């Protein structure tokens, strides 16, 4: 089962200290090129707001349908990860961002990885 750019998925994220894990939402930012490897590149979504400039707030108006993972969700632009599609929780309904908002998030993410 493929996942497309802009979809919000749910995945088991391990704690940094590896003491456990928690199912959390993430935004797929990779395009279909990785489908051959059964991988996606994603940005974590959280309800914890930070003041470090790496949060991109999500609102219900940004979605093509469905609900936000949390009432006050933010995409963490500094928290990128690649994972296998086989560990994604498939029981959750698919939610997708509207293209204009996905473009804005990817543009902001690119700013963080531009060559200096």
Compute CA distances 79 → 27, 75, 90, whole Å: 11, 9, 22
Is residue 1 domain-resident?
A: no
| Position 51 in a domain | yes
**Share above pLDDT 70 across residues of the chain, in percent, rounded to a whole number:** 99
Tell me, yes or no, whether 11 lies in a domain. yes
What is the predicted pLDDT for the residue at 91?
75
- Residue 2: inside a domain, yes or no? no
Q: Note the pLDDT tens digit of each residue in 67-102.
A: 998 999 999 999 899 988 888 888 777 899 999 999
pLDDT band for position 61 (cuts 50, 70, 90): very high
Q: Looking at residue 28, which CATH number applies to its domain? A: 2.30.30.110
Write out the residue range of the structural domain in which residue 51 sits.
Answer: 7-113
- What's the total number of domains in the chain? 1
Nearest to 5 by CA among 109, 102, 73: 102
115 versus 59: the higher-pLDDT residue is: 59
pLDDT at residue number 1 = 54
Domain membership of residue 39 (yes or no) is yes
pLDDT bin (cut points 50, 70, 90) of residue 112 is confident
**DSSP of 3-34, one letter per residue?**
--TTEEEEEEEEPTTSS-EEEEEEEE---GGG
Share of the chain above pLDDT 90, in %: 54
Average confidence (pLDDT) over 26-40: 90
């Amino acid at each position: 089962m493929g996942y497309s750019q802009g979809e919000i998925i749910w995945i088991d994220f391990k704690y940094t200290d590896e003491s456990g894990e928690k199912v959390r939402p993430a935004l797929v930012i990779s395009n279909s090129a990785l489908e051959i490897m059964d991988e996606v590149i994603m940005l974590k979504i959280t309800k914890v707001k930070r003041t470090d400039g790496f949060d991109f707030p999500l609102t219900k108006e940004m979605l093509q349908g469905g609900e936000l993972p949390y009432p006050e969700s933010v995409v963490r632009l500094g928290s990128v990860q690649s994972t296998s599609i086989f560990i994604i929780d498939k029981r959750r309904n698919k939610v997708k961002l509207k293209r204009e908002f996905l473009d804005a998030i990817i543009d902001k993410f690119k700013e963080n990885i531009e060559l200096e």
